[in-house]
Amino acid sequence: MSNNIPGPEGFFFNRNKDKNKDQHPDMKGNIKLSPAQLEGLVQIYRAAQAEGREPILQIDIAGWTRVSKSDGQKYLYLKTDVYTGPRKSQSRQSAPQRQTYDNGSDLDDDIPF
């Protein structure tokens, strides 16, 4: 496992050192969303709800194989990005888009999910 600290929109996917059985996962990690990503997901949810459609929330993940400096073990460094492009119900010909969200709103509002 790496001693590095991922950025606010990144995370590590490491070999599961606690694996005792074949049914246990080979790798483990967790995802930390930045406040901007969470706000982006809330905005997508609210926009879909206002239009009377089922919201589709998607987080894209990109990964890089790296080697830990502390123990030489391979791990995946992964980065997340809120997907704001077209949904399956919309035109598939549009290119996926990334959007920056206004971080000025209060995240203490009731989150609808």
Token match 């203490």: residue?
108
Higher pLDDT, 10 or 105: 10
Does residue 1 lie within any of the structural domains?
no
Dihedral sign (CA 66, 69, 73, 75): negative
Farthest CA pair distance, the chain? 52
**Do 14 and 2 touch, CB atoms closer than 8 A?**
yes
Number of domains in the chain: 1
Does residue 88 lie within any of the structural domains?
no
Structural domain for 68, as ranges? 10-17+26-82
Does residue 96 lie within any of the structural domains?
no
Helix (H, G, I), strand (E, B) or coil at 14: strand
Does residue 43 lie within any of the structural domains?
yes
| Interval 85-97: pLDDT, tens | 776 654 443 444 5
| Interval 49-98: pLDDT, tens | 999 998 888 888 888 888 888 889 888 888 888 888 776 654 443 444 55
Whole-number percent of the chain with pLDDT over 90: 15
Rounded CA gap, 13 and 60, in Å? 15
Does residue 89 lie within any of the structural domains?
no
**pTM for the full predicted model:** 0.57
